[in-house]
Amino acid sequence: MVGAGKTTAEQRARQLEDSDIKPVLEAKEEGKKPVKERTNTMSRYSRHYLLLWDQLKVADGVLVKEFVKRDGLGTYGLVIVPEKVKGEILQSMHGGLLAGHMGTKKTKAKILQRWGCPVSILSDQGRTYESKVFQELCRLLGVKKVRTSVRNPRCNGQVERFNRTLVRMIRAYLQGVQEDWDLNLGCLAGAYRATPNEVTKLTPNLLTMGREERLPAELVFGSTTNKSEVPVTSYGDYVDGIRSKMNHAHDIAMKHLQKSAARSHDIYDKRMLVNNYEKGDLVFS
């Protein structure tokens, strides 16, 4: 999301300061598109935003434009940027530390890209994440650093679950030998990414890249994993093939996730003890 390095409060304040964006933001919050008599008094930029009325949404008080992802799986929002901020964004995306001074087309594509530096990082208050090096890195990359509550691992439950899995893998692999265990993390993480998830039934590799990684055993014994029935004759064919595979994989994963959620809901309902009380019944207070 463009401009996501700022807090939503700061983004909203900047939009309300912009004479072109403010009337459109207020109209979307009211849920009423301005009538023609009202739009005639607006700037041409405001009228342009109104042409996008159905694509505009208000998220956390900030006006955004929704785009359909190129793979067709869902949408993402880009902040409507005030005029005085555009120069700052273009400078960071063109002449910043990680920008590379690319041309117009490549810079535009970079601004529009849902793959790159994270908007924010949620972590515990460990020394690694509180170090000056990490803080400076976040500052350079425009990443917002968020801390979990003290002694509350559930605040970052997804990471904690992954850590438990990774620790089990380390223990099983090292078999009690603790020296240089960190040197094996890359290989163990690769093994995790090549293993089907219990819920989605698919590997992280397939869901992220649209293909499976070639495993060492396949190099030794041979495999047909990466062979395609349809010959690839151009870069476009390759990209279309990857996109098709990812769409199919995401559809399958979504179905499995829905089934898992429904199963968890049924289990929860069965465990719930519901008491129907009548007037005059004795209860503990």
- pLDDT above 90 as % of the chain: 10
Nearest to 142 by CA among 69, 60, 61, 85: 85
pLDDT tens by residue, 224-240: 555 555 566 676 777 77
- Over residues 77-135, the pLDDT tens digits come to 788 888 887 777 666 666 665 556 666 777 666 666 565 667 788 888 888 888 988 98
pLDDT at 111: 63
Residue 92 is encoded by which pair of tokens? 């960071």
At residue 23, the pLDDT reads 94
The DSSP code sequence of 131-183 is SHHHHHHHHHHTPEEEEPPTT-GGGGHHHHHHHHHHHHHHHHHHTT--TTGGG
pLDDT band for position 25 (50/70/90)?
very high
Mention every residue, 6+ apart, whose C-beta is less than 8 A from residue 239: none
More confident: 6 or 194: 194
Output the pTM of the full model: 0.50
Question: Which pLDDT score is estimated for 27?
Answer: 94
Calpha distance 126→130 (Å, rounded): 6
5: pLDDT strictly greater than 60? no
pLDDT score for 178 = 66
Q: What's residue 26's pLDDT?
A: 94
Selected residue with higher pLDDT from 243 and 21: 21
In terms of Cα–Cα distance, which of 28, 71, 17, 70 is closest to 52?
A: 28
Q: What average pLDDT score do residues 40-59 get? A: 88
Q: Name beta bridge partners: 36.
A: none
Give the pairing type, strands 120-123 and 144-147: parallel
d(CA 64, CA 66): 6
pLDDT at 35 over 90: no
Lowest mean per-residue pLDDT among 190-199, 215-224, 275-284: 215-224
Amino acid symbol at 27: A
20-42 mean pLDDT: 89
